[in-house]
Structure 1
Amino acid sequence: MGDVSERSHLLDSIDSKNTRDKDQERITTRRIPCRYIPLEVINSLYFVSFAVCIPIQQFYIYDYIGNEYGIPHLSKGNTQDATTCSTSNGNSSRILNEIQKDASDQFLYLSLASNIPSAILIFFLGSLSDKLGRKYFLLAAIVGGALKQIVYVIVMYWNLSIGILYVGNALESLTGGMGATLMATFAIIADICPPGRQRAIRITLLEAIIAVVVGLALLGAAFWLHYSNYTIPTLVMLGLSVVNIFVCIIFIPETRQTRTESSQDGVTAQLTRCFTVYTRKIENRRWKLLLCLFCFFLASASTLAKSSVWTLFVLHQPFCWSQLHVNIFNAVQICLLWSSSIVFVKFLHHRLGDSGLILIGTTSGTIGMVILSLAEAGWWIYVSAVASLFLSVLIPMFRAAMSHLVSPEEQGAMFAGIGSVEMLSNGVGGLAFSLIYKATVDWFPGFVFLVIALLLTTVFILSTILLVKTRRSKAHSLETVSCPVERALHSPEA
């Protein structure tokens, strides 16, 4: 009888602990339900105005530099003046290569002005958002985008030097820019959604909705820019930013309920929390966060920072795409990539998990970049886009995976680190890719895409290591927990 009572007592203790854990999980879930907040509206308005300004900036600079070489409206591709690209004589090729190099330099400097200051600033904004709330920093980023667009309108309307565009990009970066918007947005999602599949789907769904809306906006902007000047579209984007400011003020609630003890933290402690969340010695967490962050850096550079060199690549010989062709292709590609990613994540996440989707995404992207690097005709570029169909799942899956590793009180600091790294990857990646493209455009313009394929291969290898070690640590943890129970149940004394 004593044996039975001891065994029953042990089993009751285990069941009691499991019940308490489940009850605690249910309480936590009720405390932060995945309720609806119109983040899709705010982010769609922000990223439409942000994304449409990218081709406006790129083609305005390309035409501005082309005009200095005596070739006006170079990016239009269908005017009597824009015949240099299709001309195969040596002098025309030399002029086009010089225009490509000068444009690459300008894209590089603007990228650094946009990304480096905000990459530094976001480190501090995230930890402050855990204390002060998310809404303030989301609103500040929208205001910064409006300030940049005001500068752009002034430069384009009065045909001022393109050097003044740096002022607009710097103003945007000093309010956090795109990184602060994403940091605040995903911290809000972490506030209102419990960890797991529900949060991963919400993150992916939000990014996919933004991408599809942006794709449709770029499709409309493609025709608009082709048959119009650059000033009016930029002015309309400024109007969207102003509307978004009022929408944010009125419809976005504050989701971060700050605690009394956190409000007593000193300023230094608040500002360093973004660093300590990644360096804190918690069992099996620090190395996972740092490895995920490094992979996120490489993935972000590979997917986002290549935009400017890709545009120059398809404007160059032998493709000679027009501005209209480039914008339509980008718009359709964005819509297809993110529409497929919604279906992909929704139906396969429960089977493959974050790591499985990351491995498929890196494989898809690597194949697409290799094909793009070897492209000799326009149809190769289309094949590359199809091969890269699942590349878009990389960034949301890394966000979701990292959000599962930290507590609710650390979400703002964690997403600030992600936002900072994202902006830094755009700056550093843009710098590296522009320099590589400028150095190789004369003999192998596609070489830069082989470098990107190598980066994605590195992400694949590191993600595989992360997956294997995580599974081993889980197996070891289960083994160490189950062995004492087995010994207690089957020992001679039991």
Structure 2
Amino acid sequence: MDEPDTAAILPGDVLTATDEETHDSGDHKHEAEVASTGFVRPPFRVTCPVSVEPVLFLSMFSLALQAPLSTQYLWDRISEDLGYNGSKRSGCSNGSVPPDPLQTEVEILTAHWNLYISLVGFSVGLFVVPLLGSWSDLAGRRPVLILPNIGLALQAVVYLVVMYLKLPVGYFLVGRLLSGLSGDFNAILAGCFAYVADTSDRKSRTIRVAILEACLGLSGMLASIIGGQWRRAQGYINPFWLVLATNLASALYAYLFVRDSVVPDPSAKLLTSRHYKAVWHLFSTGGSTSDAGGTFHRCKLWLYMLCFFLVVTIHFGSRELYVLFELSSPLCWGSALIGYGSAAQNLAYLSSLLGLKIMQHCLEDSWVALVGLASNVIGLVVFSVADTTQLMFTGYGLCFLFMAATPVLRSKLSKLVGPSEQGALFASVACVESLCFLVGSGLFNSLYPATLHFMKGFPFLFAAIILFIPAGIIGTLQCLDQRRDNRDSTAS
């Protein structure tokens, strides 16, 4: 059963698990902690209902601006090094023309370097993000919002040096390593979602999480529009200066305006195995709140995490194929239509937020998630048979609620653990999200060419079928919860 709602906390307030006790008997201690730590009271106080949303928006903007530009830069540099000065052929080009072996080599090398860069970030982040997330439960959230942005800024500096000096592209790995050691974007995700969990009551948490996810979509759409046009006009260097400036602005905002949601413990150490043990304890026992539900509570934690893994893997995996599917026959889209399709996909973040807000008035969160999954399934089925532009955009339209499930799952996971475990939880969720990207990208990019001979859209149909698994788990757990609530109310 859910515990009683707590009062909503304003962004300027400090929330702890023992807030009342702190005010009643620990005012002097709290003031001493504030005085000895620069992370509780920022220099400026924000009274508007905005907390960490600008941090996530700016960080995501820099990431979405940087990712496609770095891939295109790799393509151009490798082409220059190999002496290839052609352009990539469209998927609708004459099939009788044999592929250029030099172009094939450029494509392979670019894909390999992208893989190496991703693996460096993932492997380092796998150890660093849980460490930072669990540490933030003791040391406060603001360090986890500031440090990774500084690391991302250092990565941008390394990329700029490589571009200015025309260094070998292998130096990109140095920038990725610096970013990974500071937690990378996943640590920012963990910190922002944990902050929202700290500063929201159980009733409003889902919509607050959905607002954060809408920030991801909006910033991604804005960055994709700006980045492509800017690169064509001025090349790569100037956009990367904006990447650097955006990361620094995000870190500066967190330092100046974000008031910490956890009273920091000055004795909290970062480099200790205690933080990894906290993550292990969370998933092996169900966390500090597991006593109320026992084994069932722990199973719910694992099952909701499995649902999150499957849903996000489908999101990442199918997204990898949209452009390739649209470029090739029979759609043969140009850059303008591809841009409209990307905009339609990102607008679904806003429509999902609006739909979630409306549906919460009449439905439990679990049923809202099922509606979102149904929207995603129907859209994917349409994509699987789309052979005209109209049908493809119909699929985008039917997916207008496809992002309603993930904020519900994040919220449900958050409600299963205690206030002192939110950082460890969302750090684990961020690591799972990175794993989703690797699994989804590898699976769908392998499945697409393997099924072209019998059904071009089969990967989308496969994705729709997989989504029935989390839908069944969410629906079953909701029915079990309702049955337990009815039994408890009857007994009382």
Query: Common fold, TM-score beyond 0.5?
Result: yes
Query: Is 2:216 the counterpart of 1:202?
Result: no
1:379 counterpart residue number: 390
Give 2:57's match in structure 1, choosing from 18, 40, 44. 44
- The one-letter amino acid of 2:131's match is F
How many pairs were matched up? 449
Query: Counterpart of 2:138?
Result: 131
Q: Does 1:411 align with 2:413?
A: no
C-alpha distance in 1 between matches for 2:334 and 2:271: 55
Tell me by how many angstroms 1:146 deviates.
1.5
Aligned counterpart in structure 2 of residue 72 of structure 1, from 72, 86, 91: 86
2:231 is the counterpart of 1:225 = yes
Label 1:61 to 1:394 Cα distance change in 2 as closer, same or farther (>3 A): farther
Structure 1 residue aligned with 2:483: 472
Q: 1:354 aligns with which of 359, 362, 365?
A: 365
1:117 aligned onto 2:117: no
Within the candidate set 316, 320, 338, 1:304 is matched to 316
| Pair 325,58 (structure 1): closer, same or farther in 2 beyond 3 Å | farther
Shift, 1:359, TM fit: 0.8
Q: Where in structure 2 are the equivalents of 1:77-92 lying within 5 Å?
A: 85-92=91-98
Deviations 1:105-160 (A, max 9, x none): 55444333333431332222221111111111111211222222223333444555
Structure 1 residues 199-221: Cα deviation after superposition (integer angstroms, max 9, x where no partner)? 21111123213422432332233
Cα pair 1:37 1:252 within 8 Å, conserved: no
Give the Å deviation of 1:343. 1.4
The root-mean-square deviation of aligned C-alpha atoms, in Å, is 3.4
In structure 1, the partner of 2:192 is 185
Alpha-carbon offset, residue 465 of structure 1: 2.1
Counterpart CA distance in 1 for 2:318 and 2:83 is 26
Alpha carbons 1:104, 1:438 under 8 Å: kept = no
Q: Does 1:330 align with 2:336?
A: no
Q: Indicate the residue corresponding to 1:8 in structure 2.
A: none
> C-alpha displacement at 1:102, in angstroms?
5.9
- Contact 1:85–1:92 (8 Å) recurs in 2: no
Residue 439 (structure 2) aligns with: 428
Change (3 A) 1:310 1:256: same
Distance (Å, rounded) in 2 between the aligned partners of 1:355 and 1:269: 34
Could you tell me which residue of structure 2 aligns to residue 16 of structure 1?
A: none
Q: Is residue 257 from structure 1 mapped to residue 268 from structure 2 by the alignment?
A: no
Verify the 8 A CA contact 1:155 1:164 in the aligned structure 2. yes
Work out the CA distance in 1 between the residues paired with 2:438 and 2:151: 18
Assess if the C-alpha contact under 8 Å between 2:14 and 2:262 holds in 1. no
Q: Which moved more, 1:341-350 or 1:97-106?
A: 97-106
What residue number does 1:293 align with?
A: 305
- Give distance in 1, aligned partners of 2:278 and 2:234: 48
Q: C-alpha distance in 2, partners of 1:381/1:110? A: 32
Deviations 1:144-196 (A, max 9, x none): 22222223333444555444433333332222222211110111112211212
Partners of 1:365 and 1:297 in 2: CA distance: 15
SS at match of 1:44: helix
Describe the SS at the equivalent of 1:458: helix
Alpha-carbon deviation of 1:28? Answer: 9.9
Give the whole-Å Cα distance in 2 for the aligned partners of 1:123 and 1:321.
42
1:370, 1:449 within 8 Å by CA — same for their partners in 2? yes
- Helix, strand or coil for the counterpart of 2:94? coil
Which residue matches 2:69? 56
Q: 5+ unaligned residues in a row in structure 1: which ranges?
A: 1-20, 75-82, 483-494
Corresponding residue for residue 314 of structure 1: 326
C-alpha distance 208-161 of structure 1, shift in aligned 2 (>3 A): same
Residue identity opposite 2:96 in structure 1: G
Q: State the secondary structure of the residue aligned to 1:391.
A: coil
Work out the CA distance in 1 between the residues paired with 2:402 and 2:53.
22
- What residue number does 2:181 align with? 174
The 1:311–1:150 alpha-carbon spacing in structure 2 relative to 1, beyond 3 Å, is farther
Change in CA separation of 1:302 and 1:389 when aligned onto 2, cut-off 3 Å: same
- Over 3 Å counting, the alpha-carbon distance change for 1:162 and 1:432 in structure 2 is farther
Q: Any conservation in 2 of the 1:222–1:327 contact (CA below 8 Å)?
A: no
> Residue in 1 aligned with 2:161?
154
What TM-score, normalized to structure 2? 0.80
| Cα distance in 1 for residues equivalent to 2:352 and 2:213 | 10
Match of residue 141 from structure 1: 148
Amino acid at match of 1:402: L
**3-state SS of 2:360 partner:** helix
Q: 1:275 aligns with which of 280, 283, 290?
A: 280
TM-score, L = length of structure 1: 0.80
Q: Could you report, residue by residue, the CA deviation over 1:327-357 in whole angstroms, capped at 9, with x for unpaired residues?
A: 45323431x2122122112111132222112
Post-superposition offset of 1:47: 0.9
Residue 112 of structure 1 aligns with an amino acid whose one-letter code is L
Specify whether residues 426 and 27 from structure 1 end up closer, same or farther in structure 2 by C-alpha distance, changes over 3 A only: closer
Q: Structure 1 stretch 286-295 or stretch 322-331: which is displaced more?
A: 322-331
Cα distance 1:56–1:44, how it changes in 2: closer, same or farther (>3 A)?
A: same
Match of residue 5 from structure 1: none
Look up the SS of the partner of 1:255 in the other structure: coil
| Bigger CA radius of gyration | 1
Q: Which has the higher helix share?
A: 1
Note closer, same or farther for the CA distance 1:150–1:370 as it changes in structure 2 (3 Å cut).
farther
What is the deviation of 1:241?
Answer: 1.5
Task: Name the amino acid aligned to 2:377.
Answer: T
Percent of residue pairs bearing the same amino acid type? 26
Q: Is the 8 A contact 1:189 1:199 kept in 2?
A: yes
Contact 2:148-2:184 at 8 Å conserved across structures: yes
The Cα of 1:469 is off from its aligned counterpart by 2.1
The AA in structure 1 aligned to 2:142 is K
Cα separation, 2, equivalents of 1:470 and 1:204: 23
Contact 1:105–1:434 (CA<8 Å) still a contact in 2? Answer: no
8 Å CA contact retained: 1:55, 1:327: no
Matched, 1:392 2:403: yes
> In the alignment, is the contact (CA less than 8 A) between 1:52 and 1:221 conserved in 2?
yes
Greater alpha carbon shift after TM alignment, 395-404 vs 153-162: 153-162
Amino acid at match of 1:278: F
